[in-house]
Structures are given as C-alpha cells and as structure tokens.
Amino acid sequence: MKKPVLTIAGSDPSGGAGIQADLKALSANSVFGMSVLTSITAQNTCGVSSVFHLPSSIIQAQLDAIFSDIPVKTIKTGMLATTEIIKTVSHTLATQNIEHLVVDPVMVAKGGHRLLEDEAISALKDTLCPQATLITPNIHEAEVLSGITIKTLAEARNAAKIIHQLGCQHVLIKGGHLHEQPGTDLLYDGRFFRMFKADYIQTKNTHGTGCTLASAIAAELTKGKPMADAIEAAKTYTTEAIRHGFSLGQGHGPTDHFYFLPK
C-alpha cells in the first residue's frame, strides 16, 4: 500500500501549479496524493486573472472528512490566502498526530498576482510556521518572512536564521532567484547549514516548480528519508522535471512531472 500524503492548497486549472502539480509530483514519487482545496484560481501560463477563496466551513469539512477516515502522517500546504484559511488549517492540524508538515508559503504567482493577503502574513508566522517540520520559501518569500533583502548566500543564511526563530524545525530557502549561485538551495536546522546544488536550467518553463519541490520533499519524508536526503532526492527529481519542461500556451510552461515514463 502506498503511503498517503495530503496537500492543502489552491487549484490551477492549467495544471502546472497548485493542487494539480502537487498530486502529479506525489504520484511521480510513489505516494498516494490526497487534496483539500482552499482557493480556486482562474489562471493559465500567462498568469492569474481571478481568485475565489472557499469558505472556511467547506475547507473544515474537507479536512474532517480526511482525518475521520484516513490516517495521514504527512501534510504539504500551498496557497493559504487568508487569515481565516490559515487559522482553520492550523487549528485542525494541531489536533492531529502529524509527523511531517511541509509548508510552502505561497505568496505571489509568477505573473505577479498576490496569492497571500498582506494581513495573513502574521497568521502564517504565528500559527503555521511553528508547526512546520520544514518551510520552503523562495527568495522573495524569504525576504517577506525575514524582513531583509537577499542577494547573496550570506544574506540567505541570515534570513534562514530569522525565519527559523518563528518556530519551524527546518528552513529551506530556494535559490532559483538568488543573484549569487542561482539554483543553490540552503537548508538550516537551527544549528547547521547545508547547500544543495544542481544545474541551473535557463528556461521559461518553470510553472509550479515550488509546488513540485515541496510535494516531492513531502513524499520522500513520508517514505522515511531523513530531511537532507529527502531534499536531495526531491531536488534531483525537480531539476529533471524542469529540464524536461515544455511549452504549453503563451507564457511559462509546466515542468514534466513524469519525465521518466516512456514517451
């Protein structure tokens, strides 16, 4: 039996990011993906045009339906756009025996559309971050969470220390937009740093890479890998998914979550 992993996130109808990317990445990494939907976006490869946030009551009902029936030890969160949604998710997870919580603090879509309300940032810091086994901000998100500008690895280290003080066990700052050594991710566990390097692939087809990486890490954690090994495996998988990405539409195309299957 495949181990279940639950993703709690928003929907991307174009299939490149959000719940859709999460489920593909989870399946590709040999776990059983389940989903709780928080928001419905109208988006394509060019950007987000509209967003509808589901009422907290239906989000709560989805969570209750899962937890009342299926033992879930690993959760991955993505787009949690409002204070109410964050608190609903956080309070529910606090009542469960969760072993791994991977928080991808989704804030802005590639096209610039804000996916996290400004007033919800405090709720993210105060409620969800302290519950997280791992938080996976990109450079922009790490700047918001830490309050400092990040252009170098030294600044990324400082930001990781600040974010770790929010209460999470591990911080992984993704370096795809890092000016110095782009593509280098930085892990901090409160004591030690570890860098994860991979080929930096020049391509516009990177839609949903953050969702994909966080979901792949969650899959590896639930299969029993230690944190560093889970990140290493997930980064290798995500890099190859990017390498095999393809154009779809007129904007940022998706990665190929199943690049390893026969064409």
* Level-2 CATH architecture, domain 4-243: 3-Layer(aba) Sandwich (3.40)
Is 149 designated active site? no
113 token code pair: 């559309």
What does the pLDDT read at residue 116?
A: 85
Instruction: Compute the distance between CA of residue 155 and CA of residue 150 in angstroms, rounded to an integer.
Output: 5
pLDDT in tens, 198-233: 888 999 999 999 999 999 999 999 999 999 999 999
- Catalytic residue, chosen from 45, 83, 133, 206, is 206
Residue 66 CB burial class (10 angstroms; 0-12, 13-18, ≥19): buried
Residue with tokens 């899959």, as numbered in its chain: 219
What does the pLDDT read at residue 46?
A: 93
What does the pLDDT read at residue 111?
A: 65
Is 87 designated active site? no
Is 209 designated active site? yes
Q: What is the pTM of this model?
A: 0.96
- The secondary structure of 162-204, three-state, reads HHHCCCCCEEEECCCCCCCCCCCEEEECCCCEEEECCCCCCCC
User: Model confidence at 179, in pLDDT bands (50, 70, 90)?
Assistant: confident
What does the pLDDT read at residue 17?
A: 96
- Better-scored residue on pLDDT, 115 or 43: 43
Helical (H) or strand (E) element with 236: helix 227-243
- Catalytic residue, chosen from 83, 209, 238, 239, is 209
**Position 169 pLDDT exceeds 70:** yes
- Catalytic residue, chosen from 210, 245, 251, 253, is 210
**All structural domains of the chain with their residue ranges:** 4-243
- Catalytic residue, chosen from 33, 208, 245, 253, is 208
Instruction: Compute the distance between CA of residue 164 and CA of residue 141 in angstroms, rounded to an integer.
Output: 14
What does the pLDDT read at residue 192?
A: 97
Count helices and strands in the chain by DSSP H and E runs: 8, 9
Is 88 designated active site? no
- Catalytic residue, chosen from 83, 211, 238, 245, is 211
Mean pLDDT of 20-47: 97
